[in-house]
C-alpha cells in the first residue's frame, strides 16, 4: 500500500473514532444527566464544601478518607460529635473561622509542627467540630435577633395615634409669641 493511502485511511479512521466517541459520550451524558444532576449542581452543599476545601488548601484532589470523615460528620457518627453537622453549617463555620485556623497553622509551623494540606484539613476539622456546640448557640441567638428585628420592623401604622406638637413649656418660661401679643 502506498503511504498516501495509509495516511488517508488513518485519518478517516481517526475521524470515525472521534465521532463514535463523541456519540458515546453524549449518550452517556443523557442517560446519567437526570440521575447526577443533583450531584453536579453548585447548590449542593457537600459539593460547595469540597470545592471550598480544594481551593482554600490548594489541592487538586482529596483522598477518599477525607470524604469518609466528612460523611461521618454529616451523619453524626464522628467521634466526640453529639449531633449531626450538616454541610451548610460546616461550610459556614469554616469560612468564618478561616483566619483563626490560619493563625493556628502559623503557630504550629513556628513550633516545628509542619503539616501538609491533607493533615491540615483533618486538624482544622477537629478544631471546628470541637466548637460546634458554641456555633449552634450563636446561630440560635442570631435567628432570635433576626426575628426580633423583623417584628420591630412590622409596625402597624394604623394603631399609632397622632399627637399635636405642643411646645414644651416650663413654669416661668416666656415664649416670643406671648411677648409679641402683649405689644
C-alpha cell at 174: 416666656
Question: Count of residues for the chain?
Answer: 183
CA 136 from chain centre, in angstroms, equals 16
pLDDT at site 34: 47
**Which band of pLDDT confidence, cut at 50, 70 and 90, is reported for residue 178?**
confident
Q: Evaluate whether 69 touches 125 at the Cβ level (below 8 Å).
A: yes
Dump pLDDT digits (tens) for 50-92. 999 999 999 988 999 999 999 999 999 988 888 899 999 999 9
Mean pLDDT value across the chain: 79
Between the CA of residue 180 and those of 49, 162, 167, 172, what are the distances in Å? Answer: 76, 30, 17, 17
Q: What percent of the chain has pLDDT over 70?
A: 64
Degrees to nearest 5, angle at CA 44 with 147 and 129? 65
Evaluate if pTM is beyond 0.85.
Answer: no
What does the pLDDT look like over 120-145, one tens digit per residue?
999 999 999 999 999 999 999 988 88
Average pLDDT, integer, range 149-163: 63
Amino acid at each position: 500500500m502506498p503511504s498516501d493511502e495509509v495516511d488517508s485511511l488513518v485519518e478517516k479512521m481517526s475521524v470515525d473514532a472521534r465521532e463514535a466517541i463523541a456519540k458515546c459520550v453524549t449518550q452517556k451524558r443523557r442517560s446519567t444527566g437526570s440521575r447526577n444532576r443533583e450531584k453536579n449542581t453548585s447548590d449542593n452543599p457537600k459539593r460547595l464544601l469540597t470545592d471550598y476545601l480544594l481551593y482554600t488548601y490548594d489541592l487538586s484532589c482529596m483522598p477518599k478518607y477525607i470524604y469518609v470523615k466528612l460523611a461521618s460528620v454529616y451523619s453524626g457518627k464522628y467521634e466526640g460529635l453529639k449531633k449531626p453537622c450538616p454541610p451548610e453549617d460546616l461550610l459556614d463555620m469554616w469560612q468564618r473561622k478561616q483566619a483563626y485556623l490560619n493563625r493556628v497553622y502559623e503557630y504550629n509551623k513556628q513550633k516545628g509542627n509542619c503539616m501538609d494540606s491533607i493533615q491540615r484539613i483533618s486538624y482544622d476539622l477537629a478544631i471546628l467540630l470541637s466548637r460546634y456546640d458554641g456555633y449552634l448557640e450563636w446561630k440560635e441567638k442570631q435567628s432570635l435577633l433576626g426575628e426580633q428585628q423583623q417584628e420591630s420592623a412590622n409596625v402597624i401604622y394604623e394603631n399609632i395615634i397622632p399627637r399635636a406638637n405642643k411646645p414644651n413649656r416650663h413654669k416661668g418660661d416666656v415664649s416670643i409669641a406671648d411677648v409679641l401679643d402683649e405689644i
